Structure 1
Amino acid sequence: MSTAPVFEIDPKAFWDDPYPTLAKMRAEAPIAYVPQLGATLLTKRDSIFENEKKIEIFSSDQPEGLMTVLMGQNMMRKDGAAHLAERKAVFPTVSPKTVRDVWKAQFEAATAEVLDRVGPEGGVDMVAEIARPISGEALKAITGLTNMTWQEMDRVSQGMIDGCANYAGDPEVEAHCHDCTASIDRHIDARIPALREQPDHSLLSVQMQAGLSDEQMRANVKLAISGGQNEPRDAIAGAVWALLQHPAQLAKVRGGEASWLQAFEEYARWVSPIGMSPRRVAQRAEVEGVVFEPEDRVFLMFGSGNRDEDVFERPEIFDITRDLAPSISFGAGPHFCAGAWASKCLIAEVALPMIFERLEGLRLVGETRFGGWAFRGPLTMPVAWDQVR
């Protein structure tokens, strides 16, 4: 256990809204041990930005970590040469060129189909009936699991997310996670023969072409699903909510004063869909006066760093015109999100403009509820509109 000061939290309140607690931690104990989470939290942006790169101390290799135990050791749970080798192998799927030339058209077609299904009068849940299928259809294409429904894609993604955040050790959550990973394995088994015959740009296919082991391929597909469904889903719905809540900001986008990309990136700073990344301490070290011991668990709190008062002016305010260069929504070090280009394309180039263009008179018609701290997004978001263009 580190020598960081102990900071107690209310787990339920932290899940409901972590930001007041994180603000207090930044002010009183920027590096603190939270017994309810069994980890030492780094909450300041510059501290996270600097220490994420120190892989010799804060290692992503976590043999006993929940993600590795439940999903296999994917490339995000490796450091150095091993991480770079797998990152290079998957790059043909997520490169800016592939996103532009292969995936964008498929994103557009799938999003149009989703919006065609919602009907002319609205009265739906933005999360469940629009954001989930848009994200799920995109992820089916990118992973290569086109034999999976978007509903199953969302189910298995959420099941793995819940499993990886199951620090309380709930056996039902763990069992459900195992059921979800088994479903992914069955879908992978069914797709491999076709992809051997007709290789494509999907994640499963490019890993097969690169000669990665079966274990590596499966772990990385599960990684892509665990983060590649919830982050776009939550960011699409959340960014729509933020823009509807801030009509002056939406007017700037519609008037050409700001872009959809600025709106998405500011939302991802303001309400970070991925709010935390865990690390294992690999060797004894002192950081900012705190001594860490080998095998200590550390949480890099991206959601807190993105609201650091020393870096962002009025960080609690949603402002799409602010300088977002210091933002760490996609990470900051060697584990910078490999799917960042695909995510930006799906959300900022396709989903947001199409939703606001086609759902004329889009508006909120009820309470939007948020939840989560490791992963955070809207849970329900009732909306209506006047007509579908």
Structure 2
Amino acid sequence: MTPPSTSTSTAREAPTADWVALADLHRNPFPIYRQMREEAPVHWVPSVNRYMVTSYEACHLIENDQETFSANETGSLMKRAMGHSMLRKDDRAHDVDRKSYGSVLRPKAIKETWNQIFEQNSRTYLDRFKAAGPGADLIREYAAPYAAENLRLIMGFHNASQEDMQRWSQTMINGTGNYADNPEVWAASEKSYNEVDDAIDEVLPYLRRNPDTSLLSGMTAMPIPLEAIRANMKMTIGGGLNEPRDVLGVAVWALLTHPQQLAAVLSDPALFPLVFEEAVRWVAPIGMYPRETTKATVLEGIQLPRGARLGVVIGAANRDPRVFADPESFNINREKKPHLAFGGGNHFCAGTWVARASVAGVALPGVFRELPALRLDPGRAAVDAGWVFRGMTDLPVTWAAPTSTSTSTNQTF
């Protein structure tokens, strides 16, 4: 990749996409992304008050040039919803916060500590899911509580429940994506913001007296200010819950609507990691994140002023036909190429290994092993939604023997 040119001699202004509505993005952004990307790699979008970057090349360049494209955005929704976490910092400040996470989320810790816990939690919530009976919602009854309980233990919130984790996560990421500036969304986000701070303040003294392998326990020995701990823990509650939950839901939905690929995976469970990677490419759980230009620059032929607010649209970049063949399709057999779902450069997602282990290594094999007749509920549609964050909001399934050949696929992705 080459760095973005600063020459303006051949650059053009970004076209304006004043036809893009927030409601349409929430419902199904992919046709919008396709239309934008075919016209230009960057558009000014009034409804979100920022330039939206939709090509793979441009998104990749941005992530690897923090001197030109800063994560420390002015007026950041994420700062308001979660505090000033490392996701909204550039190096060196980012590096200091990142190092405070230690080795808790690394592959060695996952192998030695967390995989056993993932297995136990999966068993607990799969048993509850099966007890709810055919027609239960896979997201509400399994994916969400499973991801929340894993995260609660990893983070060390001994004074909270998985239900608390779910509430905190959803209300704060709703704030992060509150481009409509809905006051009710802000009120719910602020309530969770304060609850998380209170929970951290309460549990840190306990963890100093009773150290364990959790993230918060490790931070008690780190030279990091309390405000940085609070902000980074809120950020982790958001991404650390919604990413595995939403990848799991999308992956199950994708397999149930692609029976030939499902048959291949069932005959060879070693393919589940490919299912995971294709699911995060196809529907990135974090679909967009912000950056801000530190100087006037040119990005793939588009002139950008200093201080331009950008939306790096990973959900669009991961479907760029210049990189991925037939990108709108879910295909675990496609040629392996690097997706951008977990970011890149110094902001590569710290929770990537946890998501891969808990979803591809434990949850997906467990769901299809325990429920071999799993299929979509023919009487109730699956629902997908979101664009800043995207995943399945409803995934009713059944595992009783089918009485007819009809199925409900609702293929809107």
TM tier, smaller: over 0.9
**1:289 and 2:301 equivalent?**
yes
Q: Give the structure 2 partner of residue 10 of structure 1.
A: 21
Distance 2:50 2:336 in 1: 29
**1:57 and 2:71 equivalent?**
no
Q: Secondary structure of 1:137's match?
A: helix
**1:70 and 2:84 equivalent?**
no
Contact 1:258 1:321 in 2 (8 A): no
Q: Give the structure 1 partner of residue 395 of structure 2.
A: 381
Distance 2:371 2:202 in 1: 37
**1:338 and 2:350 equivalent?**
yes
Q: Give the structure 2 partner of residue 170 of structure 1.
A: 182
Distance 1:170 1:88 in 2: 35
**Deviation for aligned residue 1:63:** 4.5
Alignment TM-score, normalising by the size of structure 2? 0.90
**Deviation for aligned residue 1:258:** 5.4
**Deviation for aligned residue 1:62:** 2.2
Decide which moves more: 120-129 or 108-117. Answer: 120-129
Q: Deviations over 1:77-106 (max 9, x none)?
A: 111111112212213111111111111111
Structure-to-structure mapping, 1:133-144, within 5 angstroms: 133-144=145-156
**5+ residue gaps in structure 2?**
1-11, 402-413
**5+ residue gaps in structure 1?**
none
**1:29 and 2:43 equivalent?**
no
Q: Give the structure 2 partner of residue 124 of structure 1.
A: 136
Distance 1:63 1:223 in 2: 18
Alignment TM-score, normalising by the size of structure 1? 0.96
Contact 1:16 1:371 in 2 (8 A): yes
**1:240 and 2:252 equivalent?**
yes
Contact 1:7 1:29 in 2 (8 A): no
**1:100 and 2:114 equivalent?**
no
Q: Deviations over 1:170-195 (max 9, x none)?
A: 11111110001111112212211221
| Amino acid paired to 1:367 | A
Contact 1:106 1:138 in 2 (8 A): yes
Contact 1:63 1:69 in 2 (8 A): no
| Amino acid paired to 1:336 | F
Contact 1:66 1:164 in 2 (8 A): yes
Distance 1:172 1:304 in 2: 29
- Indicate the percent of aligned positions where both proteins have the same amino acid: 39
Contact 2:59 2:313 in 1 (8 A): yes
Contact 2:152 2:165 in 1 (8 A): yes
Distance 2:175 2:21 in 1: 20
Distance 2:270 2:119 in 1: 22
- How many pairs are equivalent? 386
Distance 1:349 1:285 in 2: 43
Distance 2:223 2:113 in 1: 22
Distance change in 2, residues 1:11/1:319 (3 Å): same
Q: Deviations over 1:244-286 (max 9, x none)?
A: 1111111111222851110011011111111111111122222
Q: Secondary structure of 2:327's match?
A: coil
2:102 pairs with 85, 88, 91, which one?
91
**Deviation for aligned residue 1:289:** 2.7
Q: Deviations over 1:297-345 (max 9, x none)?
A: 1011111011001111101111111133221111122101011000100
Decide which moves more: 355-364 or 117-126. Answer: 117-126
**Deviation for aligned residue 1:43:** 0.6
Q: Secondary structure of 2:135's match?
A: strand
Q: Give the structure 2 partner of residue 187 of structure 1.
A: 199
Contact 1:265 1:324 in 2 (8 A): no
Extract structure 1 runs of 4+ deviating beyond 3 A. none
Distance 1:311 1:376 in 2: 22
Q: Secondary structure of 2:310's match?
A: strand
Distance 2:26 2:269 in 1: 35
Distance 2:341 2:297 in 1: 26
| Amino acid paired to 1:378 | M
Q: Give the structure 2 partner of residue 370 of structure 1.
A: 384
Distance 1:321 1:190 in 2: 48
Distance 1:372 1:77 in 2: 22
**Deviation for aligned residue 1:147:** 2.2
Contact 1:208 1:217 in 2 (8 A): no
Distance change in 2, residues 1:177/1:383 (3 Å): same
Aligned-pair RMSD on alpha carbons? 1.5
Q: Deviations over 1:22-56 (max 9, x none)?
A: 00011012211001010101111111112211101
**1:81 and 2:95 equivalent?**
no
Q: Secondary structure of 1:147's match?
A: coil
Distance change in 2, residues 1:343/1:75 (3 Å): same
